Homo-oligomer: A and B are copies of this chain.
Amino acid sequence: MKNFKFELLHTCKKSKARYGRLHTPHGIVETPMFMPVGTLATVKFLSPEEIETIGSGVILANTYHLWLRPGQEIIAKAGGVHNFMNYKGPMLTDSGGFQVFSLADTRKINEEGVTFKSHLDGSKLFMSPEISIEVQNKIGADIIMSFDECIPYPADYNYVKQSVERTLRWAKRGKDAHKRTDQALFGIVQGGDYPDLRKHCALKLVDMDFDGYSIGGTSVGEDKETMYRMIDYSIEHLPQDKPRYLMGVGAVNDILEAIERGVDMMDCVLPTRIARHGTCMTSHGRINIKKATYKEDFTPLDSNCDCYCCKNFTKAYLNHLFKCNEGLGNRLMSIHNLRFLIKLAEDAREAIKEDRFPEFKEQYLKNSNFDHRGF
């Protein structure tokens, strides 16, 4: 597609970690990157300027949620999601698949698509590869996703095999339905924990020649080692010259493991979701600001952090805001957590450029008291 290009600029000499640049109609951004999630065309509590200031590359919006509210027609009339929410940087939408398979009730899957009930009002809805692409065309993000079946983990080999075949047929149908030349379309590699199915799915998608490739079916309950294997099984069959997007990953150790394996893009609601509960990511591990110990702590959340929250407010003030359920607390903590992961990716890029990514990763994890599940 026009205006979209991935430049692979450097691969770390000691790992598969790669530094690159993604060209989109709304600007050029560097990879690897962590992408904030703005589910309903708003990164909760934050202004577009705040999102830019924390150094976001691409931000996400969720097709399923926008399809239900306000509907793609209103967003199209607004001139697309960038205009609608007044965000000038690059955006990405998922296909709606994950929400259809995780949020919605009473699904029925057949070859045509998925019938299910709205999580809002229980009304009956139908989503297909063509509808997903049409909705995403109208929403108008820079990067859009194929509609895939998101299977649970663990799943029986034969089921996963059939599902991968369907996901491939759906990917082809979505590609055929895709109408806009100014939106990059990614295919999604599925295949569970089965190396041959991951390989098969990846190779078939590559044959179809997508603008980029996502790794799906992770963060669905599998253990960390399994997730990392799924990444390896997928990436080894993907081309060097296309971006790779690991969907739904936002724990610090997962981000570092994924980058080391050659992932370029990641997203997760984790930093903003835990922020709203007062949980904060710091270079020394995670803390909950509501703890009484912070009541008289007049230092910033993380003295190594350059975010607006850490430069201007103390733990004591944040403790007070959270104790009183004040929205400013959610806002400041979201800024901090997002900046924390974006900075992590920035530092990772520097380490890759200087061929010291494995040391960087090891040092980073050693300095922080992350538990096994990371954040």
Q: B-contacting residues of A (Cβ < 8 Å)?
A: 40-42, 44-48, 69-70, 74, 77-78, 84-86, 295-296, 298, 308, 312-314, 316-317, 319-321, 323-324, 326-328, 330-331
The reply to whether B78 and A314 contact each other, CB–CB distance below 8 Å, is yes
**How far is the CB of A148 from the nearest CB of chain B, in Å?**
26
| 19 A/B residue pairs, CB under 8 Å, sorted by A | A40-B321, A40-B324, A42-B321, A44-B327, A45-B328, A46-B328, A48-B312, A69-B323, A69-B324, A74-B320, A77-B296, A77-B298, A78-B316, A84-B317, A84-B320, A85-B317, A86-B313, A86-B317, A327-B331
B295 pairs with A70, CB closer than 8 A:
yes
Complex alpha-carbon distance, A74 and B328, angstroms: 19
Residues of B within 8 A of A326 (CB): 40, 42, 44
Chain B residues closer than 8 Å to A308, beta-carbon distance: 47
Q: Is the CB of B47 within 8 A of A328?
A: yes
Chain B: which residue is nearest A73 at the CB level?
A: B296
10 nearest A-B pairs in the assembled complex, by CB-CB distance: A45-B327, A70-B320, A42-B328, A40-B324, A86-B312, A42-B326, A327-B327, A69-B324, A84-B317, A45-B328
Selected from B70, B316, B331, the residue in CB contact (under 8 A) with A84 is: B316
With the chains together, A42 CA to B329 CA distance in Å?
10
| Residues of chain B contacted by A321 (CB below 8 angstroms) | 40, 42
- Residues on B with beta carbons closer than 8 Å to the beta carbon of A331: 45, 47, 327, 331
Contact A316:B42 (CB < 8 A) given known A328-B47, A330-B327 = no
Cross-chain contact B317 with A78 (CB below 8 angstroms): yes
Across the interface, which residues of B come within 8 angstroms of A327, CB to CB?
44-45, 327, 330-331
